[in-house]
Amino acid sequence: MKNVHRLVVAVAVGVLLLCACPEGSAGQQSHPSTALRKITIDDYFRIHDVGQPELSPDGQWIAYTVRTKMLKENKNETRIWMVSTHGGDPLPMTAEAVSSGHPRWSPDNKYLAFTSSRDGGKSQVWVLNRLGGEAVVLTDIKQGVGDFEWSPDSTRLVLAIQDPKPEDLEGDKDKEKPAAKPKVQPPFVIDRLQFKRDTIGYLDRRRTHLYVFDVAKKTSTQITSGDFDDSQPAWSPDGKLLAFTSNRSVPDPDATRDANIWVVAADNTDKGAHLTQITTNPAPDDQPVWSPDGKWIAYVTELDPHLFYYSTQHLAIIPAAGGEAKVLTLSFDRSIRRPRFSADGNSIYFIAEDDGTQNLCRIAATGGEITRPIGGRLNVSNFSIGKDDEIAAQIGTLDRPDEIFLHKGNELTRLTMTNDALISQLRLAKVEYVHFKSKDGTSIAGYLYEPVGYDAAKKVPALLRPHGGPVGQYSASFDHLAQLLAANGYAVLLPNPRGSSGYGQKFCAAIYADWGNKDYQDDVAMADYAVEQGIADPDKLGVGGWSYGGISTDFIIAQTTRFKAAISGAGVALLTSFYGHDHYQREYEIELGYPWDHQALWDKISPFWRVKNITTPTLFMGGDLDSNVPVLGGEQMYEAMKALGRTTELVVYPGEYHGFTVPSHIKDRLERYLAWYAHYVKGESTPATPPASAAKSGGE
């Protein structure tokens, strides 16, 4: 391919961090390369996940969370910390051995509230007094609290609570009785159109509604009701109203994706019998936020219900009493999220996916030019805004996991160094953001990781890793798996093919009802690029991914035999068998129609019908509780390949949903990745199944 542009980003990211960090915190820049080591599987569990920054009302502190993945204990733990906006050592705010999250400062600056499940109970709201002392529980909701926000006067909370189960209504009357024998699980009685959801399982008629909780009296009043779910509550500046998101389609909200913005009086006593519908767009509107003067509501909107996930998510604004909405980001054509007004209400901040990054952007509330207060090849995952438009941001880069930064004026300062001790030990792979041409001439981009210690005079094994989604993108964030594979001698190829977000709606919707075609061409074009550049050995290529990445893997190995090994995690096979089995009923019907009316289309995008073409040794994986992309797909592909006498293996992880959480399972999966690729891609004599993993199998 000719005229391929390569943009080197590793140096630029390092410069950004060096300039942004307090003195002495630049990490590996101060360590000679001879003292560094390669990243390992166990380093995944040494990386602390930093997130959820919340700037205090006085602008002096940032509360945030740190998740620790505890391999020895085989569990995860999240604690809340606090760091001064002037720098210094962070302070732990919650205790070890219990997980806490969702930190929220009271607007009067007196309390820090958060959610926590303690002593085996349900999630409740807890509060810490800024003057000191232990955290105390504030709510006592039998079924637990899902979400909460402070009222502007700090006297109330809005709570998102799911309707109780019958046993929740029993109260505590049986607590003092001796423990009874476990009851037999009653059957699930299903009568909903949308009856399943990953991490939840079968759905009943219990819905999530909003309650206003009086902090002093510790009493709650239900303010919404009905056979609908209500979420994302936002207080009006005067504390009289609450905006929220809800799909209240008639006759059945399960049949559509038509969420809208609604407003309810915070002091109503009729459980929301009288609501004001603010938006009427037939596609989803959500994430409402009020302007400081209470006159406007900004929100995120999709404009084409037919495209659903493939549709660009835009920023819109509408009068708080309802009226004509104005979409502010039409010409931008990038998906946005988390809108927040500036302190004076004249601007709106938001996070945007763009060209393999996530930047913090700003636009005037009336529309116009978009600027980037925090831009560049980095990944802003979350942020909060203070009274003087100071910004607490969660930012990651290609060579550093997420940390907490403060943006003030034109300066960006890193305040936390949570992972510096680890990163300072590691010799990381060089990463390039590259552009190349697909088969039909379309320009595609992706991230290319050179193997650690790469010798440009030699060709190396290479692994192609299609991403999940398909709507999503590889962004400029730290990727332990990519670094691990590079540390083990592979060039790692992370393409953003058509179907990816961050490149506009037309690019994203190019694979609509046509999976495994243009995205296949774009994915393999990155392998072509790596070969043509003299990096990848064409005889030592592997492929693998999870979710849509697993689906892409199945399509790739069914159309080419150039890859020596494949790992397909949480993929599909015979797509019609997923209808009613996974949780995508609405999306299938929009994109593909009913399977009994459009069988040819459903079969076209089913890798199962191409299985006879597959000769690549393939490892299939999945979680046995996954309702997102059930392990059924891996089972079907494995059984077919086994029947055909092909080299294959199936690994099913008990108790896991779509996204794995059990540390020992995650470690096992990584071990299997390395063993499978080492045996079949590199041609090493080591077993394709690691000995330690083989010893753990067989019914234990």
Per-residue pLDDT tens over the stretch 201-259: 999 999 999 999 999 999 999 999 999 999 999 999 999 999 999 999 999 999 999 99
Mean pLDDT split into 10-residue runs, the chain, 700 residues: 34 36 34 76 98 97 98 96 97 92 97 92 94 91 96 98 83 56 84 94 95 97 97 98 97 95 96 95 97 98 97 98 97 98 98 98 98 98 95 98 96 98 98 98 98 96 98 98 98 98 98 98 98 98 98 98 98 97 96 98 97 98 97 98 98 98 97 98 96 52
What is the predicted pLDDT for the residue at 21?
39
Per-residue model confidence as pLDDT tens digits over 85-101:
999 999 999 988 899 99
Tell me whether residue 73 is exposed, middle or buried, using C-beta atoms within 10 angstroms of its C-beta: 0 to 12, 13 to 18, 19 or more: exposed
In a domain, 263, yes or no: no
What is the predicted pLDDT for the residue at 691?
84
What is the predicted pLDDT for the residue at 178?
58
What is the predicted pLDDT for the residue at 553?
98
In a domain, 398, yes or no: no
What is the predicted pLDDT for the residue at 7?
31
What is the predicted pLDDT for the residue at 16?
40
Domain span holding position 452: 431-696
Q: How far is residue 641 from each of residues 20, 26, 573, 617, 687, measured CA to CA in Å?
A: 52, 50, 12, 9, 20
What is the predicted pLDDT for the residue at 179?
58
CA–CA distance, 272 with 683 (Å, rounded to integer): 65
What is the predicted pLDDT for the residue at 166?
80
Chain center to CA of 161 = 23
User: Total domain count for the chain?
Assistant: 1
Torsion of CA 330, 332, 333, 335, to 10 degrees: -100
In a domain, 440, yes or no: yes
Q: How far is residue 500 from each of residues 376, 409, 428, 467, 512, measured CA to CA in Å?
A: 19, 33, 26, 9, 11
CA–CA distance, 416 with 53 (Å, rounded to integer): 11
Both tokens assigned to 261: 């913005």
CA–CA distance, 186 with 6 (Å, rounded to integer): 59
CB 603, CB 593: distance < 8 Å: no
Tell me whether residue 86 is exposed, middle or buried, using C-beta atoms within 10 angstroms of its C-beta: 0 to 12, 13 to 18, 19 or more: exposed
Say whether 466 sits in a helix, a strand or coil.
coil
CA–CA distance, 343 with 555 (Å, rounded to integer): 49
CA–CA distance, 69 with 48 (Å, rounded to integer): 7
In a domain, 205, yes or no: no
Say whether 193 sits in a helix, a strand or coil.
coil
The DSSP symbol for 200 reads T
In a domain, 353, yes or no: no
What is the predicted pLDDT for the residue at 453?
95
In a domain, 593, yes or no: yes
**Residue/partner pairs of 167-171 with CB below 8 Å, 24 or more apart:** 168/142, 168/143, 169/142, 171/142
In a domain, 469, yes or no: yes
Specify the amino acid at residue 321.
Answer: A
In a domain, 139, yes or no: no
The DSSP result for 257-290, as a single string, is ---EEEEEETT-SSSSSS-EE----SS-EEEEEE
What is the predicted pLDDT for the residue at 165?
86
Provide the CATH number for the domain around residue 613.
3.40.50.1820
